[in-house]
Amino acid sequence: RLRPFGRLQVVLQHLKMSKHTDSTAEVLLEKKGCAGIITLNRPKALNAINFSMIRQIYPQIKTWEKDPETFLIIIKGTGGKAFSAGGDVRALRDAGIAGDRMAQDFFKEEYSLNNAVGTCKKPYVALIDGITMGGGVGVSVHGHFRVATEKTLFAMPETAIGKYCLFPDVGGGYFLPRLSGRIGYYLGLTGSRLKGRDVLKAGIATHFVDSEKLPALEKDLTALKSPSMEDVADLLNSYHAKSKAERDKPFVLDEHMEKINSLFSGNSMEEIVKKLKQDGSAFANKQLETLNKMSPTSLKLTFRQLTEGASMSLQEVLRMEYRLSQACMKGTDFYEGVRAVLVDKDQAPRWKPAALEEVSDEFVDNCFKPLGNNDLKL
């Protein structure tokens, strides 16, 4: 017979095993057929990724990567509205104010997870049905396959609408400048949104499948027998070819591509603003209005992040972004942005400095400096 302590251990072990498929868990991790399936399960929070979710997903990806019985990994969200609408910035603000280590650990572990997705040796399929922003982009965009639907709403809103004074992190410095022309600079600096098939046309998604067909796609993926990368691609291609939604819709940015490529190709943030002012078109004025609401610090950091990230590896980008995250945590604008948007909700952040010209090159340089022993190790 088990002693009471021994019995408690068995119960705890059982709970640990079952929590991954417990419908109330924040993330569900299960094996179905040939696939490991990650389900982001915070529908009320639009599946925003918090610290405990990161700490469950990362080791599971690493385990499945080594498991000879797991041939692919699928990640999806519950609730029908969002794949994942970002990360838990409110908790980060509270941790930063309290001087808690979480402000360092969260970014270190989140970026390690982004790298695990980007370096995964097994086919990695993200079903980005619904809102996909910020942290949700980080666990999808670096994978081999990103499946958009007519419900997909993509954005990197870190600089936008007075948001948080961050920068489009989670590897944004890697994938954004690699999009065609200056689309990545436009999306990263303005926080502009793309919907449905436009997410595919911009080069962010690899496939487009009608939302109602996703359960069938998942079933067919898990039923594959020892699939290779090519087998997974073939199945996704066949669903993609049959998708009907928004098939004949022109790319929303087509009419603006010439302007995006010329106006967002300046050598500095100030130059981009100058070009927008000189252009004077309705499109340019709209972008100017958007940029004027943002943290000048955030804009300058983002511009340099995208410029440098264009020639870096994903690992180098994530190391650079970790340095930037810590600079933002030490500054004031991150806290002011979250206060204005999520705490007091007055939508009126007071940025310091308040103008691009006041953000010195020396300050920007310091934000990019190595952190010695505290640098991100991947």
Residues with active-site annotation: 87, 135, 158, 169
Whether 73 and 109 have beta carbons less than 8 Å apart is answered as no
Whether 371 and 317 have beta carbons less than 8 Å apart is answered as no
Whether 128 and 154 have beta carbons less than 8 Å apart is answered as yes
Task: Give the strand order in the sheet containing 82-84.
Answer: 82-84, 131-133, 153-155, 194-195
Q: How far apart are CA 136 and CA 87, in angstroms?
A: 7
Whether 115 and 138 have beta carbons less than 8 Å apart is answered as no
Structure tokens at 140: 């999808």
Whether 231 and 242 have beta carbons less than 8 Å apart is answered as no
Q: Is the CA virtual torsion 142, 326, 376, 301 positive or negative? A: positive
Q: Which residues are bridge partners to 39 per DSSP?
A: 28, 76
Residue 290 CA: distances (Å) to CA of 95, 262, 268? 29, 18, 17
Q: How far apart are CA 267 and CA 263, in angstroms?
A: 11
Structure tokens at 73: 């990994």
Output DSSP code: residue 72.
E
Dmax (CA) for the chain in angstroms is 83
SS3 string of 241-301?
A: HHCCCCCCCCCCCHHHHHHHHHHCCCCCHHHHHHHHHHHCCHHHHHHHHHHHCCCHHHHHH
Structure tokens at 195: 């919907």
